[in-house]
Amino acid sequence: MREIVPSADIANSPSGVWPLEFAQKDLSSFSFQHGGETYSLDRLIADTDTDGLAILHRGKVICEHYANGMTSNTPHILMSVSKSLTSIVAGILIDRGKLDPEQTVVSIIPELKNSVYSDATVRHVLDMRVGLDFDEDYLATSGPIVEYRKSTNWNPLAPGERPSDLRSFLSGLKDRAGPDGGSLHYVSTNTDLLGWILERSTATRFADLLSNLLWQPMGAQLLRILRSTVSVHPAALAAYAPHFSTWRGSAN
């Protein structure tokens, strides 16, 4: 992915990396029941085609497994774990009084005044309770989810289509399925928007926010995030996009 979609490194503190301790355990006798069948750890790994696994117990690595060409130092996409990282950064800023969760989105990003986010608050975005009409169907072949993926370069453009960008896509979301603050509606665009909110509120790139507020203080290893491409906002970091980390980095 890093060869297709531009990325940014999240700087860590090389002298402050939290070294993991290792205490290898024999887990060959471990098993659990699921769907009426018994699974050993080896069967679970094989049946789920797991690329890598690192198990920690009381702060120590007790088991590691790598397959499909992966090693302990191979970066692997974290997918929606990235949402948790973005939300943690938001929580730190809220705790420090740098972000008000009750503030309206448009008071921070006026460009969204004509979008479905026009009346939403930061808390609505954080809680996934924005009333937008958006079906996150990853198998869809048309519709907003496909246009969304094209705006971040996850899907290729069709012949004759012009490139878009994430911020323009978010600004163009207008369809509503219900009121803000209603039922939980899991939509990745909300986390994309949250990253934009954090950048705009602090006048700081998300990569730097994540590095300074979380990655360096926690003693983590190097992390990398994908950036939004073909953007009319060259400095816009779609940080909120998937992150890459090694298994040991994730264990940190």
Confidence category of residue 236, pLDDT binned at 50, 70, 90: very low
How much is the pLDDT for 41?
95
Q: What is the mean pLDDT of residues 164-182?
A: 94
Task: For residue 229, give the DSSP letter.
Answer: -
Confidence category of residue 251, pLDDT binned at 50, 70, 90: low
Q: Is the pLDDT of residue 40 over 80?
A: yes
| Structure tokens that stand for 201 in this block | 């509120």
Q: Is the pLDDT of residue 173 over 60?
A: yes
Q: What is the mean pLDDT of residues 187-192?
A: 92
Beta-bridge partner residues of 43: none
Active-site residue list: 80
**Residue in this structure with the two tokens 């531009």, named with its chain if needed:** 6
Q: What gap in Å lies between CA 193 and CA 184, rounded to an integer?
A: 17
Q: What gap in Å lies between CA 234 and CA 166, rounded to an integer?
A: 11
How much is the pLDDT for 250?
64
Mean pLDDT, the chain, rounded, equals 85
Spatial contact of 185 and 131, defined as CB atoms under 8 Å apart: yes
pTM, rounded to two decimals: 0.82
> Residues 6 or more apart from 91 whose CB is under 8 A from it?
none
Residue 215, Cβ density class (10 Å: 0-12 exposed, 13-18 middle, ≥19 buried):
buried
Tens of pLDDT, residue by residue over 61-82, are 899 999 999 888 787 777 788 8
Spatial contact of 89 and 214, defined as CB atoms under 8 Å apart: yes
Tens of pLDDT, residue by residue over 137-150, are 989 999 999 999 89
Tens of pLDDT, residue by residue over 50-61, are 998 889 899 888
Q: Is the pLDDT of residue 198 over 70?
A: yes
Q: What is the mean pLDDT of residues 126-131?
A: 97
Dihedral sign from CA coordinates of 9, 10, 15, 19: negative
> Among residues of the chain, what percentage have pLDDT more than 90?
57
Q: Which long-range contacts (CB under 8 A, 24 or more apart) does 165-169 make?
A: 165/228, 165/229, 165/230, 165/231, 165/232, 165/233, 165/236, 166/192, 166/228, 166/231, 166/236, 166/238, 167/111, 167/196, 167/228, 167/231, 167/232, 167/233, 167/236, 168/232
Q: Is the pLDDT of residue 238 over 80?
A: no
**Amino acid identity at 35:** G
How much is the pLDDT for 117?
97
Spatial contact of 196 and 240, defined as CB atoms under 8 Å apart: yes
Q: Are strands 223-226 and 52-57 parallel, antiparallel or unpaired?
A: unpaired
